[in-house]
A and B are shown apart, each in its own frame.
Chain A
Amino acid sequence: MKFSRLVKKLNALFNQQQRHQQRQRKELAAALNKLKHKQHELKAKLQNCDSELERAELEEKISILATQRRKGLEMLRELDNNEDDNL
């Protein structure tokens, strides 16, 4: 284990707020991963879709997922910055 990670873990052990942030980060990362998979799945569907109506719906859903992922990544970056500041 790297020294910085060890310090982070030790710090989190005594800091409730940091533990909360770490849990939040983990949940957010997991949610983003799920969204990424769903986005890939819908993109694959879109490539094989002929119906105009279904294509429109898939495009809309892909755009929603892209926006959500972008927002999530921004928040993830913010959480990382906060964690670094706490060290």
Chain B
Amino acid sequence: MELLKRMLFPVIMLLLAFSLWSSPQLQQIAAGVAIFLFGMLSLERGFQSFSGGLIERVLQRSTNTTGKALLFGVAATTLMQSSSLVSVLSISFLSAGLINLGAGLGVIFGANLGTTTGAWLIAGFGLDINLSQLAMPMLVFGVMLLFQPNQSRAGIGHILAGMGFLFLGIDYMKDGFATLQGSLDLSTISPQGIAGLLLFTLFGIIATVVMQSSHATLVLTLTALAAGHVQYMDALALAIGANVGTTVTAVLGSLGANTAGKRLALGHLLFNLLTGVVALVLMPVLLWLVEHLSVLLGIGADNYTLKLALFHTLFNLLGVMLMVPQLPRLQGWLLRLVPERATSRMQPQYLNQSAMESPSAAVAVTRSESIRLYALSTDLVLQGLGWQADEFHRGQPIALLSDQSHSAIHTNLQQLYEQQVKGIYSAIISFISSAREKASGRQDEQLRELRAADHYLIEAIKGVKHLQRNLLFYIHSENPDMAQAYQQLRQQIGDVLRAIQQVRQIDDVVESRLALDHQLLLTEREREQSDSLIEGLIRTRKISAEMATSLMTDKGYCQEVCRALIQAARYLFIDEQSPQGDTPESLQLEHADLSAINKQLEQQRSDEDTATPPPEQGL
């Protein structure tokens, strides 16, 4: 495939160069197509700069029913004039698990209907008015806005400039075809009947595949039809071909997608193929319908461009009407045809290239993969501490967890880290680096925080690795004070993990943040109390100086592990919709704040203890 692509490209370029050299009129048409495509690119870029905002929020919220998904597809494609962009966004969202397959198919069906609005606009207005006059101010204001540092303004600039280029491109094509009068008549090379229909359908497919835009093919067809260079029937076949050819963009977009994205791309291909076949088979019926509806809508008998727009709408509508009732069956069939591939525990499960298309999707897959990394990391932490992860996750109280510390002493955490965690961690970091190139604002901040969360998880594993040897040795020490002190350290990490487990069940953001802050307060208190405890043990000679230094160092590791786990949980499990940095920094508690709270509470409690209760008043 790659070889074919590499060979085909120079051939196309050479053929094009020869054609342009031999015909100045063709040069103008080709320049029109190029300007039009450049406009599409600019328009897509403009809309993409708003992605992560309105478009994606609406896509996520308005696709819970097939009807809504269809409407979204129609509206988004009408607005953006690019079904490819809507398809690629849907694949990206489906790959990220933000929408389901049914919703994705609904959006794709709707996008097909949405493309028909472009044909109506061009056939209705674009060919009768001087579009270049409209294009000029758009280009001027668009380019002025493009230079603005503000991203939204630059986005609007891209959209305006894109529309300006679209209009300019159409105008060039119109003029090109007008000057071509008489020198080119495709009808002379077209065989009649079914062979002609099939040949022009193939032309439509090829043109759309080359230009990667059915919209461009349709505009080219409409302008050629208006100038009389293509016969009406051939133009209809070209429109059918454009519909089929547009699926190539989606199929290419799905190559980097996961199974879900591939299913949607296949669904898109099937839908458009079926619609195309039905349109070809029912051509006489559709033509009859077009004629009758044209009379009803007041379209002139010789206004073939508007008739083409009507035909385009009718056959896409027919496709939607045929496929929507079959949606559950199609979903089931796609699920069977493209089964979920079993991924290895060591491989990333959620990250996929297709999610890169939209910053929201990129954040969603990174979060899912990071949460998976959290699960794997905490399993290693628990294993390193001599506990069974399964028992812990089942909710067994920490005191009742079976002690595996004798066998855990042989657990090589470094090796386990390299086997189970490092690959996924590296994949996430690499994915985030690429995704941040497209992301900005909130999404960029969220990606940065997720990277920090993953880093904290690795820090936690490292901390346990340092702690492990002494902990598993002293926990069985004959010195009861040392055994108890190390048991306390292990318990402390266990408490933090249990608290995080509970935080994951809390919906209230303030409540969950408070629960983590509370855990931080307890960690700080443990640190302060263990300082005086160790000093006491040394003073009373219950532990040796060597034991004390080990304990003090390991206490530090334990603190690091607890803090790292709490920070990771803060980024992973609280308020997925907005970055934690959005909460004012000043409200985050520092060491000094925590220490002051602990002192104040201690004082308050000792005051309560010494105060004599007031005598109770009798009734």
Contact = CB atoms under 8 A, between A and B. Distances in A.
A20 B22 CA distance: 59
Contacts of A24: 584
A74 interface: yes
B586 A67 contact: no
B291 interface: no
Contact of B518 (A27, A35, A57, A67): A57
Size range of the chain B interface in the assembly? 10 to 19
Contact of B601 (A27, A63, A75): A63
Nearest to B515: A61
Contact of B586 (A59, A64, A74): A74
Given A57-B518, A61-B514, A67 B589 contact: yes
B586 A27 contact: no
A61 B515 CA distance: 8
B596 A71 contact: no
Contacts of A31: 583-584, 587
Given A24-B584, A27-B584, A31-B587, A64 B517 contact: yes
Contacts of B510: 34-35, 38
Contact of B584 (A28, A38, A57): A28
Contacts of A46: none
A65 interface: yes
A17 interface: no
A68 B518 contact: no
A74 B518 CA distance: 22
| Residue in B514, B517, B584, B601 with the greatest tally of chain A CB atoms within 10 Å | B584
A46 to B, nearest CB: 13
Interface in B242-283: none
B407 interface: no
A63 B583 CA distance: 19
B593 interface: yes
23 contacts: A28-B584, A28-B586, A35-B510, A38-B511, A60-B518, A60-B521, A60-B522, A61-B514, A61-B518, A63-B601, A64-B514, A64-B517, A64-B518, A64-B521, A64-B589, A65-B514, A67-B593, A67-B597, A68-B589, A71-B586, A71-B593, A74-B586, A75-B584
Interface of B: 510-511, 514, 517-518, 521-522, 582-584, 586-587, 589, 593, 596-597, 600-601, 604
- 5 pairs of A and B residues whose beta carbons are closest in the complex: A75-B586, A68-B587, A28-B584, A63-B597, A71-B586
Interface of A: 24, 27-28, 31, 34-35, 38, 57, 59-61, 63-65, 67-68, 71-72, 74-75
